[in-house]
């Protein structure tokens, strides 16, 4: 029997089939940024917490530079100590008073894929059963000291009333608010045409709305489409089969 | 070539839902209709459709090469003079094209006759490339059709290859007028094919495309659009506000501007002039007296018309079939009347696709009248033996 004439593989057209070129490594997956903040009173404490020494040194230097540029100053020690812990203020070269830098906050972040994130939650017992910060910490821990981790830092001060203050507690992780997971900004129309939208994940929160306002004022829109709109409505619907 | 009646798959609507084929029913009327199919022999498909499609495509490209060298011919095709250079340059630079569709009157016996070429914004692509293929595979699996049944349908494969061959690496934007489910179905399918080729794709509504201070077309985030598929006709874009910005921008348009010459029915008289008597061509002339009644045995069509709008037929017996429409502001052609073959109560038209320069497959439309319109039904086909 003669073989039938050749036709396309149905796999190319089925809605459920992933783009062939992209199956294995999945750059089409949603990306999430996981972050974790930890407070240290010294570089040594940072290193002792298994953070690479260069990252600790760098974080300390960055925090110190930030402190020297941006720390609040006061005319009298009393004004300073009204906000910061007793004895926590020092005089500046200019004769004013500023809080001592009592340590630094290290922020560690990395991008993970949706499937890595799902695996992280699964290990913790599932969504809703495990705190975001715990998952963030676990995922970052699993990444080891790979190049995918990014660090940032800022100075810490000892506040008079530590409770509820973001930088109030030294040497301690933040519990529920000390880590975060945020979807990497990406407009929802990108990629994955077959999904029909899919919606933005339930955590983190995408920031698609800001994108419209981010465009520069000199951009004009609406310059395409007017002609066809003028002719649509003819014959009751806007189809274009076997059209032009 | 004959028509076979067949029970529809009881679950085909669920399948359509799963596959995202949203416009199978339009205004309560069937558009996808699998209560029958057309069966062709391999010889009919290869000699009757594939070969003429490839040959006509070559003739069209040859015609474009001639037209762009003549301002008189571009004027005759109603290209606005401000766009002569854009159209010519797009051709001389060899700007890549993706797809087109010839509509044939073909009954399986005589030569296929070219009714028109839809070379700029053809649709009915998803149903031809995907849903009729899924239908075939399921019907073979269920034992309803024999294992040796196949289709003239390498559309998906050829689309992936055509996208892979496109120049550039930037994200590919796909645009439609907002709110058309069918158009969006077409571009979403094309996006999938582009993604198979490893291309990152995005959708943007045509109305949302921006023009920035440096004359670049940009998306909603202000990012430059380097590659743009537009399901929007060039003859419209020429007259829209952004039309004049196209020549100075860096965006690669698909289809490219030179496609405006083939999608235009004004090319049919030129093809006839340069290939008079070709078995797949119908006699065609520019209509210099569009106010007069159409002579018997001829059809009057505007240069730019879709869905059969403004087509005016006078059969050999003098019967008039007319479809009103909005395309009454362009020149007209007169084309020899080649009645569509009738199978049962339906008139049948064959859309034969060209993808990346190859004859790639067919889709079949049926209508109750001689003019195939947007209300026509789409039926699958089978090739055996």
DSSP notation for B365-380: EEESSSS--TT-EEE-
Residue B130, Cβ density class (10 Å: 0-12 exposed, 13-18 middle, ≥19 buried):
buried
Domain count, chain A: 1
- Is residue A55 assigned to a domain? yes
Task: For residues B332 and B346, state if they share a domain.
Answer: no
Question: What is the C-alpha to C-alpha distance for residues A27 and A29, in angstroms, rounded to an integer?
Answer: 5
Q: Is B207 on the interface with A (CB under 8 A)?
A: yes
Instruction: Look at B318 and A173; give whichever has higher pLDDT.
Output: B318
Tell me what pLDDT residue A216 has.
45
Question: What is the C-alpha to C-alpha distance for residues B346 and A57, in angstroms, rounded to an integer?
Answer: 81
Average pLDDT over residues B380-385: 96
**Of A7, A12, A193, A196, which is closest to residue B380 (Cα–Cα)?**
A7
Tell me what pLDDT residue B341 has.
96
Which residues, in sequence order, are bridge partners of residue B320?
A: B314
Lowest model confidence (mean pLDDT) among A185-194, A227-236, B171-180, B185-194: A185-194
B contact residues 341-360, partner A, Cβ 8 Å cutoff: 349, 351
Q: Is A210 on the interface with B (CB under 8 A)?
A: no
Of A192, A215, A244, Cβ closest to residue B121: A244
Question: ipTM score here?
Answer: 0.91
Tell me what pLDDT residue A229 has.
57
* Cβ contact, residue pair A224, B207, below 8 Å: yes
Quickly state the pLDDT bin for B133 (edges 50, 70, 90).
very high
Task: For residues B69 and B178, state if they share a domain.
Answer: yes
Tell me what pLDDT residue A162 has.
56
Domain that residue B17 falls in: 11-264+342-383
Tell me what pLDDT residue A133 has.
72
Task: For residues B315 and B218, state if they share a domain.
Answer: no
Quickly state the pLDDT bin for B27 (edges 50, 70, 90).
confident
* Cβ contact, residue pair A242, B213, below 8 Å: no
B contact residues 249-308, partner A, Cβ 8 Å cutoff: 263, 304-307
Task: For residues B159 and B292, state if they share a domain.
Answer: no
Q: Is A26 on the interface with B (CB under 8 A)?
A: no
- Is residue B252 assigned to a domain? yes
- Is residue B4 assigned to a domain? no
Tell me what pLDDT residue A171 has.
37
Q: Is B17 on the interface with A (CB under 8 A)?
A: no
For A101, half-sphere exposure in the C-beta direction (CA atoms, 13 angstrom radius) is 22
Question: What is the C-alpha to C-alpha distance for residues B225 and B204, in angstroms, rounded to an integer?
Answer: 10
Tell me what pLDDT residue B125 has.
96
Residues in chain B: 385
pLDDT mean across residues, chain B: 93
- Is residue B278 assigned to a domain? no
Question: Which positions in chain B touch A197 (Cβ < 8 Å)?
Answer: none
Tell me what pLDDT residue A167 has.
43
Is pLDDT of B262 > 70?
yes
Q: Is A128 on the interface with B (CB under 8 A)?
A: no
Segment B65-109, tens digit of pLDDT: 999 999 999 999 999 999 999 999 999 999 999 999 999 999 999
One digit per residue, pLDDT tens: chain A, 244 residues? 678 899 999 999 998 776 654 444 444 566 777 888 888 888 998 898 888 888 899 999 999 988 888 888 888 888 888 888 787 888 888 888 888 888 888 888 888 877 777 777 777 666 655 667 777 777 787 776 666 788 888 888 877 765 333 443 343 443 333 566 666 644 434 443 333 332 222 222 222 233 333 334 578 888 998 876 554 433 333 333 333 3
Domain that residue A152 falls in: 31-71+103-182
Quickly state the pLDDT bin for B51 (edges 50, 70, 90).
very high
Question: What is the C-alpha to C-alpha distance for residues A151 and A61, in angstroms, rounded to an integer?
Answer: 12
Instruction: Look at B290 and B190; give whichever has higher pLDDT.
Output: B190
Average pLDDT over residues B222-251: 94
Tell me what pLDDT residue A149 has.
80
Of B123, B222, B263, Cβ closest to residue A219: B222
Of B123, B134, B263, Cβ closest to residue A241: B123
B contact residues 98-127, partner A, Cβ 8 Å cutoff: 101, 103, 118, 120-124
Segment A120-143, tens digit of pLDDT: 777 766 665 566 777 777 778 777
A contact residues 59-118, partner B, Cβ 8 Å cutoff: none
Quickly state the pLDDT bin for B58 (edges 50, 70, 90).
very high
Which DSSP category does B231 fall into?
Answer: -
- Is residue A169 assigned to a domain? yes
Tell me what pLDDT residue A124 has.
66
Probe site for chain A from B145, B147, B219 (most A CB atoms < 10 A): B219
* Cβ contact, residue pair B192, A187, below 8 Å: no
* Cβ contact, residue pair A224, B202, below 8 Å: no
Computed from CA positions of residues B19, B25, B31, B37, in that sequence, does the dihedral angle turn out positive or negative? positive
Sorted by sequence, the CB contacts under 8 Å of residue A103 that are 6+ apart come out as A39, A40, A41, A42, A45, A155, A156, A170, A171
- Is residue B86 assigned to a domain? yes
Task: For residues B84 and B136, state if they share a domain.
Answer: yes
* Cβ contact, residue pair B385, A235, below 8 Å: no
* Cβ contact, residue pair B307, A242, below 8 Å: yes
Instruction: Look at B201 and B323; give whichever has higher pLDDT.
Output: B201
- Is residue B208 assigned to a domain? yes
3-state secondary structure of B95: coil
Percent residues over pLDDT 70 in chain B: 98
Domain count, chain B: 2
- Is residue A206 assigned to a domain? no
Tokens coding A131 = 């705190």
Tell me what pLDDT residue A83 has.
83
Instruction: Look at A93 and B127; give whichever has higher pLDDT.
Output: B127
Average pLDDT over residues B175-197: 91
Task: For residues B167 and B297, state if they share a domain.
Answer: no
Q: Is B89 on the interface with A (CB under 8 A)?
A: no
* Cβ contact, residue pair A15, B20, below 8 Å: yes
Segment B200-211, tens digit of pLDDT: 999 999 999 999
- Is residue B2 assigned to a domain? no
Q: Is A24 on the interface with B (CB under 8 A)?
A: no
* Cβ contact, residue pair A196, B20, below 8 Å: yes
Total-model pTM = 0.70
Quickly state the pLDDT bin for B35 (edges 50, 70, 90).
very high
Of A223, A241, A243, Cβ closest to residue B242: A223
Q: Is A236 on the interface with B (CB under 8 A)?
A: yes
Tell me what pLDDT residue A173 has.
41
Instruction: Look at A113 and B229; give whichever has higher pLDDT.
Output: B229
Q: Is B329 on the interface with A (CB under 8 A)?
A: no
- Is residue A47 assigned to a domain? yes
* Cβ contact, residue pair A242, B210, below 8 Å: no
Of A10, A21, A241, Cβ closest to residue B134: A10
Q: Is B180 on the interface with A (CB under 8 A)?
A: yes
Is pLDDT of B155 > 50?
yes
Task: For residues B297 and B244, state if they share a domain.
Answer: no
């Amino acid at each position: 029997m003669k073989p039938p004439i050749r036709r396309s593989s149905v796999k190319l057209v089925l809605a459920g089939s992933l783009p062939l070129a992209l199956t294995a490594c999945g750059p089409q997956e949603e990306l999430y940024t996981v972050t974790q903040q930890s407070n240290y009173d010294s570089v040594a404490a940072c290193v002792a917490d298994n953070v690479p020494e260069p990252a600790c040194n760098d974080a300390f230097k960055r925090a110190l530079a930030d402190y020297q540029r941006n720390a609040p100053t006061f005319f009298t020690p009393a004004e300073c100590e009204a906000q910061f812990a007793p004895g926590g203020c020092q005089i500046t070269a200019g004769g004013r008073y500023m809080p001592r830098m009592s340590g630094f906050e290290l922020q560690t972040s990395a991008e993970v894929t949706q499937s890595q994130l799902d695996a992280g939650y699964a290990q913790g017992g599932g969504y809703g059963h495990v705190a975001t910060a715990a998952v963030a910490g676990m995922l970052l821990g699993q990444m080891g000291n790979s190049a995918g981790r990014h660090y940032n830092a800022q100075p810490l001060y000892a506040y008079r009333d530590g409770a509820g203050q973001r930088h109030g507690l030294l040497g301690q992780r933040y519990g529920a608010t000390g880590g975060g997971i945020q979807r990497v900004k990406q407009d929802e129309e990108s990629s994955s045409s077959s999904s029909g939208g899919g919606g933005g994940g339930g955590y983190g929160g995408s920031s698609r709305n800001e994108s419209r306002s981010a465009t520069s004022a000199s951009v004009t829109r609406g310059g395409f489409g007017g002609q066809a709109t003028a002719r649509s409505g003819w014959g009751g619907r806007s189809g274009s089969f076997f059209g032009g | 070539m004959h028509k076979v009646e067949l029970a529809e798959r009881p679950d085909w609507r669920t399948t359509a839902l799963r596959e995202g084929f949203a416009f199978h029913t339009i205004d309560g009327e069937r558009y996808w209709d699998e209560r029958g199919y057309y069966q062709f022999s391999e010889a009919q498909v290869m000699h009757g459709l594939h070969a003429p499609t490839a040959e006509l495509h070559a003739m069209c490209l040859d015609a474009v090469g001639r037209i762009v060298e003549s301002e008189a011919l571009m004027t005759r095709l109603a290209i606005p003079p401000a766009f002569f250079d854009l159209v010519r340059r797009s051709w001389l630079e060899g700007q890549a094209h993706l797809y087109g569709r010839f509509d044939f009157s073909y009954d399986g016996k005589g030569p296929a006759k070219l009714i028109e070429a839809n070379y700029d914004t053809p649709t009915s692509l998803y149903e031809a490339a995907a849903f009729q293929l899924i239908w075939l595979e399921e019907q073979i699996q269920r034992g309803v059709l024999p294992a040796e049944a196949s289709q003239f349908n390498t559309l998906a494969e050829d689309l992936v290859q055509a996208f892979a061959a496109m120049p550039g690496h930037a994200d590919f934007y796909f645009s439609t007028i907002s709110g058309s489910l069918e158009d969006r179905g077409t571009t979403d399918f094309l996006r999938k094919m582009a993604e198979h080729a490893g291309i990152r794709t995005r959708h943007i509504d045509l109305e949302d495309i921006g023009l920035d201070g440096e004359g670049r077309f940009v998306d909603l985030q202000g990012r430059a659009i380097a590659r743009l598929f537009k399901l929007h006709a060039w003859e419209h874009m020429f007259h829209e506000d952004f039309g004049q910005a196209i020549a100075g921008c860096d965006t690669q348009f698909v289809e490219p501007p030179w496609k405006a010459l083939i999608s235009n029915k004004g090319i049919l008289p030129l093809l006839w002039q340069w290939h008079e008597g070709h078995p797949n061509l119908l006699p065609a002339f520019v209509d210099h007296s569009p106010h007069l009644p159409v002579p018997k045995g001829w059809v009057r069509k505007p240069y730019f018309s879709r869905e059969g709008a403004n087509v005016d037929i006078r059969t050999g017996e003098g019967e008039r079939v007319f479809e009103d429409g909005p395309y009454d502001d362009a020149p007209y052609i007169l084309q020899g009347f080649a009645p569509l073959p009738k199978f049962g109560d339906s008139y049948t038209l064959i859309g034969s696709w060209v993808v990346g320069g190859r004859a790639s497959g067919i889709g079949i439309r049926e209508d109750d009248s001689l003019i195939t319109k947007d209300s026509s039904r789409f039926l699958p086909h089978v090739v055996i033996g």
